[in-house]
Amino acid sequence: MFPVEEKTYVADIDRTVYDIKDDEKDAYKLQAGLTPEIVQKISDEKNDPAWMQLFRLQSLQVYNESRVPQWGPPIDGLDMDNIVTYVRPNTKMSAKWSDVPKDIKDTFERLGIPQAERKSLAGVGAQYDSELVYHNVREEVAAQGVVYTDLESAMHGPYAEMIQKHFMKLVKPTDHKFAALHGAVWSGGSFVYVPPGVSVTIPLQSYFRLNAPGAGQFEHTLIIVDEGAYLHFIEGCSAPKYNVANLHAGCVELFVGKNAKLRYSTIENWSKNMYNLNTKRAVVEEGGVIEWVSGSFGSHVSCLYPMSILKGKDSRAEFTGITFAGKGQCLDTGAKIVHQGENTSSFINTRSISKDGGISTFRSSVVVAKDAKQSRAAVSCQSLMLDSFSRSDTIPAMDIRTPDADIGHEARIGRISEDAVFYLMSRGIGEEDARAMIVSGFAENVSRELPLEYAVEMNNLIQLEMKGSIG
């Protein structure tokens, strides 16, 4: 009998649940590539109103005329000629979980979506490839006048004018090449409207699952929180790993009204063949608050910089984020704050971890307009490298146009303290567990801001990544 040897190295996060692939049973799948004919087919498939048909084709023109930004991580492995922009699953959207096909249902069951809904959520939307397959909201929440539905349906209902007024007004197709791509081929996503004075005391959640190899996902999330209202929205994402490039180029637009508050929590756990080129932006009116909580643990390449525009007087933004870059990953993340109103305040607080040659880059941008007097901004970014061949970069930018502002920035890049490891080992803790404990402590200020189930998931991912990483 051979002796049992303890595993001394784990090359990757245990993604067993996330990497289970479903058989492709698509009802409809476009050919790969990006042409006016393909964009028109998507528009026809979605039964777009006339203004949206025109918008898509105009966005495609902008895409073709735009260049990929010269800064940021390389995306040479992404070829749009090989990306399928629309995959319709073999089902229609349902408000009853029992009506969802078994294979799709099993996928979301494994990810814990129905259980989460039953336990702690006011409403759930689940997207599979290019379409929402399930959407439901609690009766007591709907009775408050809260609208939570798929964006396509909403465009043909009583909120059609509101959507046309707000759709891609914060994130314009001209902003960058992949915003234009999104405008041309977007599909799926959610529309949320919280009426004035309504407080949604339990969160809403959307979950996006990309199953098809060589495909893109381009969901659009549009949330409007009216004056004096409150909402916590949770977003989760995952995909199985393939040996071909996949693309995620979604878009999130958040409108926070006067004295309203929105908390937007995201855990992105894409596979390492994913190019995550997502765009997220919020505008905040007088006295309003936007809170971002972000965790990035997957994808081959990520470019993700949620932006907050503090338009109104006394508005506030907070961004709390953590990034974990492992082998073969280049995660370029950060946040941008634009202070426009007087007496506005912002705080960016991030942690990044790199391991096994992973590259973690933090970018921040703070802009204070000349009329944003008495504004306050603070940026704190800390990076931890777990070996000598990983990399971490910090690239802050500040554009302050008024002398009447209080601005601060701090950054730290380092490695695990061997003294701290020695101290824990002297207390009877093994070296692996000691290092994992230090990493978990490093990330604790972010994990405590996450919804409970995501905080547990994040800590489990860190523990799995650290287990056996020495020797």
- What's the predicted TM-score (pTM) here? 0.86
Instruction: Give the pLDDT of residue 419.
Output: 79
Q: Is residue 155 predicted with pLDDT exceeding 80?
A: yes
3-state helix, strand, coil in the chain (%, to 5): 25, 35, 40
Q: Is residue 344 predicted with pLDDT exceeding 80?
A: yes
Q: Tally Cβ neighbours within 10 Å of residue 243.
A: 7
Q: What pLDDT digit, counting tens, does each position of 15-36 carry?
A: 444 444 444 444 467 888 899 9
Instruction: Give the pLDDT of residue 326.
Output: 86
Instruction: Give the pLDDT of residue 470.
Output: 45
Q: Is residue 180 predicted with pLDDT exceeding 80?
A: yes
Highest mean pLDDT out of 22-31, 112-121, 291-300, 363-372: 363-372
Q: Is residue 319 predicted with pLDDT exceeding 80?
A: yes
Q: Is residue 98 predicted with pLDDT exceeding 90?
A: no
**How far is residue 293's CA from residue 278's CA, in Å, rounded to a whole number?**
15
Angle at CA 354, nearest 5°, toward 353 and 355? 130
Instruction: Give the pLDDT of residue 72.
Output: 87
DSSP string, 389-406: S-EEEEEEEEEE--SSEE
DSSP state for residue 462 in the 8-state scheme: H
Q: Poorest-confidence range of 20-34, 211-225, 231-245?
A: 20-34
More confident residue, 303 or 118: 303
Mention every residue, 6+ apart, whose C-beta is less than 8 A from residue 54. Answer: none
Report the length, in residues, of the chain.
Answer: 471
Q: Is residue 112 predicted with pLDDT exceeding 80?
A: no
Instruction: Give the pLDDT of residue 130.
Output: 57
Average pLDDT, whole number, for the chain?
81
Instruction: Give the pLDDT of residue 189.
Output: 87
Instruction: Give the pLDDT of residue 25.
Output: 47
Q: Is residue 315 predicted with pLDDT exceeding 90?
A: yes
User: Which residue matches tokens 């197709």?
Assistant: 173
**Which is nearest to 130 in space by CA: 92, 97, 103?**
92
Instruction: Give the pLDDT of residue 364.
Output: 92
Q: Is residue 230 predicted with pLDDT exceeding 90?
A: yes
CA 409 to each of CA 289, 317, 350, 366, 395: distance values in angstroms, whole numbers, following the listed order? 21, 16, 12, 10, 11
Instruction: Give the pLDDT of residue 71.
Output: 86
Instruction: Give the pLDDT of residue 466.
Output: 56
Contact assessment for residue 465 and residue 440, using Cβ atoms and an 8 Å cutoff: no
**How far is residue 122's CA from residue 213's CA, in Å, rounded to a whole number?**
32
Q: Poorest-confidence range of 123-132, 256-265, 341-350?
A: 123-132
Q: Is residue 157 predicted with pLDDT exceeding 80?
A: yes
**How far is residue 181's CA from residue 203's CA, in Å, rounded to a whole number?**
30
Instruction: Give the pLDDT of residue 421.
Output: 75
DSSP state for residue 12 in the 8-state scheme: S
**DSSP three-state, residue 30:** coil
Q: Is residue 352 predicted with pLDDT exceeding 80?
A: yes
Instruction: Give the pLDDT of residue 457.
Output: 62
Angle at CA 144, nearest 5°, toward 257 and 94? 105
Highest mean pLDDT out of 233-242, 308-317, 323-332, 426-435: 308-317
Contact assessment for residue 295 and residue 264, using Cβ atoms and an 8 Å cutoff: no
More confident residue, 90 or 61: 61
Give 256's strand partners.
225, 284
**How far is residue 350's CA from residue 294's CA, in Å, rounded to a whole number?**
9
Q: Which runs of E-coded beta strand occur in 371-453?
A: 375-385, 391-400, 405-415
Query: Taking every pair of C-alpha atoms in the chain, what is the biggest distance, in angstroms?
Result: 77
For the segment 347-369, the average pLDDT, to the nearest whole number, is 91
**How far is residue 458's CA from residue 444's CA, in Å, rounded to a whole number?**
10
More confident residue, 234 or 471: 234
Confidence of residue 234 (pLDDT cuts 50, 70, 90): confident
Helix (H), strand (E) at residue 446: helix 431-447
